[in-house]
Structure 1
């Protein structure tokens, strides 16, 4: 049965609604960045750019880096934006826009998030790189989907118990990243850990300006959380949503973050721009190895 127009929304030119993209515009390797200005910082290393477009915060450029075709997309901030970007990316490769039906042969994309983050562990220094073995979803967006096949109940239960997680909040979900992309991107320059994903920047990450948070000790509890050698390495706003939706849709996904702050010791990078640039060049060169 064809997908209804209200569910799969296309623009008058046939492109997908939010991203403003057609299937031929994207490569099988896709880099996610949050900031739309960071798209050109990545593609400035490309040999050529064949296509670019922007609609709202979603900026896309596709081109070639040392012979490999790569697409770079800005997602904006937060899991709600990831919900838009990943569902529409999947539609571009796995739904026939003419018949509005799911294709018989499905395509799997390689999706790599290049982001910035704050470390929760003293041993992960400012200006370091963190590869996410898992995403810890604290925001609840993924509960809109059927997630039983991708959750990790043992780690989730341990986290709930060790943090005394409030029952009024969404149940935390833990999702593994792509082992294939993890092996491709790791080196002696990277740290590995579980990345926590919040639904906001202030209260959801324990920051207090004028509003009190529900659990003022949550960050301290997260700092010391451990399960079979797994600890929470860093805190940001996209990784778990990327991992969860990618796994449900059959794509490979990995998140690599430049650590620009260490919240455990209260330090901030002296030159975050250089750290991000170093991460961009590191990731691009790892992709083509």
Structure 2
């Protein structure tokens, strides 16, 4: 039995942060960072049956073309991803009455629609691309035991050699092959770098002195087995690693709003994000 302090429920039986009951959640879930973006996705639903929220975690569940889908705002960063991924897994795989693991486990489909900056010159603003792999430059997976594939281990070793002055060990997660085939046959793919912050951890210096001042340049020059680091954001590696660990399917779809090489930002970010949303919903 899972202790009350390990799996915290609200007085109405909903899970602590997401404020959801098991029946509120669909098996296909879209993650967005911005709570305001939830409505930008659910406006395309044929019907919305659930509207719930707590803090930055807003959920709408409904149907589109007869398929039940939930869209959840995660907020920013892998610390929030830790909360959301653990709680959606508990919603489908823990019996809240007995507080025991279910005999038959459910594997969820998780599609992130997020914003990102490119760190390769041939990836232009407005591109919609998917993360085939993601490298976490944050500390989330220092706290979990995760099995790594041979290719993930190769990427992790190459990262440690290339970024040889880091004081921490990056981790690696991979996209679901099933979701890559469903959503990404006609999209560019790459390795995504996930940072634990927006300024120093992404190589920005407004009024700070950074420990790794050449972070973007070093990321730009990374190569392993013909792959490069293509873009930079703040959630994908955590989603992939936890989904891999729990046995869920995950895919990150990135709307490229900035070029970190040319130090430019899109003049129409809302339109680019809208294009990514419509793309994903046509593939659902």
TM-score (norm 2): 0.97
Aligned counterpart for 2:183 among listed residues 152, 168, 185: 185
Task: Tell me the C-alpha RMSD between the 2 structures.
Answer: 1.1
> Could you say which residue in structure 1 is the equivalent of 2:69?
70
> Could you say which residue in structure 1 is the equivalent of 2:48?
49
Per-residue deviation, residues 69-110 of structure 1 (Å, max 9, x unmatched): 100000000000000000000000000000000001100000
Determine the C-alpha separation between the residues in 2 that align with 1:210 and 1:125: 28
The reply to whether residue 204 of structure 1 matches residue 201 of structure 2 is: yes
What count of residue pairs does the alignment treat as equivalent?
283
Compared with structure 1, are the counterparts of its residues 150 and 165 closer, same or farther at alpha carbon in structure 2 (3 Å cutoff)?
farther
CA contact (8 A) 1:134 1:174 kept: yes
Determine the C-alpha separation between the residues in 1 that align with 2:147 and 2:64: 38
The runs of at least 4 aligned residues of structure 1 exceeding 4 Å deviation read none
Determine the C-alpha separation between the residues in 2 that align with 1:174 and 1:187: 22
The 10-residue stretch of structure 1 (93-102 or 201-210) with the greater mean CA deviation from structure 2: 201-210
CA contact (8 A) 2:130 2:252 kept: yes
Per-residue deviation, residues 133-158 of structure 1 (Å, max 9, x unmatched): 00101002111000244582221111
Q: Secondary structure at the match of 2:267?
A: coil
Determine the C-alpha separation between the residues in 1 that align with 2:149 and 2:99: 27
Return 5+ residue gaps in structure 2 as ranges.
none
Residue 265 of structure 1, CA deviation = 2.2
> Could you say which residue in structure 2 is the equivalent of 1:19?
18
Residue 266 of structure 1, CA deviation = 2.4
Compared with structure 1, are the counterparts of its residues 184 and 165 closer, same or farther at alpha carbon in structure 2 (3 Å cutoff)?
farther
Return 5+ residue gaps in structure 1 as ranges.
none
The reply to whether residue 157 of structure 1 matches residue 140 of structure 2 is: no
> Could you say which residue in structure 1 is the equivalent of 2:170?
172
Compared with structure 1, are the counterparts of its residues 28 and 263 closer, same or farther at alpha carbon in structure 2 (3 Å cutoff)?
same
Per-residue deviation, residues 199-247 of structure 1 (Å, max 9, x unmatched): 1111111111222111111210100100011100100000000000011
Paired residues for 1:226-237 under 5 Å = 226-237=223-234
TM-score (norm 1): 0.96
Determine the C-alpha separation between the residues in 1 that align with 2:79 and 2:171: 16
Residue 29 of structure 1, CA deviation = 0.2
> Could you say which residue in structure 1 is the equivalent of 2:217?
220
CA contact (8 A) 2:35 2:58 kept: yes
Residue 187 of structure 1, CA deviation = 3.9
Determine the C-alpha separation between the residues in 1 that align with 2:239 and 2:147: 16
> Could you say which residue in structure 2 is the equivalent of 1:59?
58
CA contact (8 A) 1:124 1:191 kept: no
